[in-house]
Structure 1
């Protein structure tokens, strides 16, 4: 659902209506099967889409499932001294949002029963590397890149 959701739709206080409208559109356009749509909980989707990370997306360029391949210093990927060697780092960002002012948001979707502390511990290395990769590719400071995890199962946002 999040792969197809039009993030320009929701207005403050009207997220649930936007979810219902998008479910109809996604069904009509056959982007998901009726069986898949039936498994979704619109109230939970509305809670997820009310997370602060999704605010302001109407003015941003959005890239979904954005694949990348970038060369990074090996010492930034693994601990140790690699004498300045570089390694290729490949990944796919669930949602990458870029504002006209150069601010960037990386959103990673997880379906997990784990709490915020466990998710932070498990995924901080991954998102740190994503941040470095995006910084290098877009030529923006890492200070301008914000990373968040959206826990779909438990319905919360975790800013990293």
Structure 2
């Protein structure tokens, strides 16, 4: 069975100016710095698809929902809930002086034309896929400070 390695690279992220009145760039700065270098081992193409969907901001997947037991785990499969817990990132927002948590994804409002399915097909074909952050956003939500940042998944075994 093939294994896959995922890595987040934000080395090229440029921190933006921020202040108490303009705090959101500071929150984005802290998040982008916190996720740099995060790696995960994925053990199936299903887990790869989950990671790709999560990166695009989609964490409630209908494919993992069952009406058999909607009260437990909000109806999501135990395996998927375990995956989500492993991909919950907590980081310290220095300007606001508080800890924030979110799933490992792009930052903020993502509504670009990103397709996890297309990225999965690229990985199957080439053995590697690199998803730049800009793919996640439309022009109104993308910040050029993210230029050069990406998530990469490659087949390792």
The interval holding the TM-score normalised by the smaller chain is under 0.3
Q: Which has the higher contact order (CA 8 A, sep 6+)?
A: 2
Larger radius of gyration between Structure 1 and Structure 2: 1
